[in-house]
Amino acid sequence: MSTPQIVSSIIAALISITIIWMVRRDHLITRDGLKWILISIAILLYGFFPQLNDIIGSGLGISYPPIIPVLLGMGVILIKLLIADIERARMQVTINRLVQRLAMLEADRKDSSRES
């Protein structure tokens, strides 16, 4: 086993252990933890089988196969950013609706206290 394989195996193991610890301590949602475990498995596979890049690259006609993990990583990051923006927008709408409801309840409370 070569040094890069050992290093990537250690990195994948550390990521997996950290993710499991974070899920158990409720620092991370289980659904997100599963995604990160899959990422650590992918790191482990690429570490043990670096020739996967060459196989995938030749199949796709890519002349420089080491760029494949970089492109995949960038794609995953962009998708994650999009999902985060969608969830943030959804939460902002919910917060705005709650603020409006609270304002209506406070107005009703003031009206009812004036009538008494």
Query: Domain residues of the chain, as ranges?
Result: 1-49, 66-116
Distance in angstroms (rounded) separating the CA atoms of residues 113 and 116 = 5
Token pair of 37, please? Answer: 């475990």
Distance in angstroms (rounded) separating the CA atoms of residues 90 and 116 = 39
- Binned average pLDDT, 10 residues per bin, the chain of 116 residues: 80 85 85 82 80 88 88 91 94 97 94 80
CA-to-CA dists, residue 60 to 54, 56, 64, 76, 106, angstroms: 10, 6, 11, 19, 62
User: What pLDDT was estimated at residue 78?
Assistant: 95
Per the CB < 8 A criterion, the answer to whether 16 and 40 are in contact is yes
Q: What is the pTM of this model?
A: 0.64
Distance in angstroms (rounded) separating the CA atoms of residues 78 and 97 = 29
User: What pLDDT was estimated at residue 116?
Assistant: 65
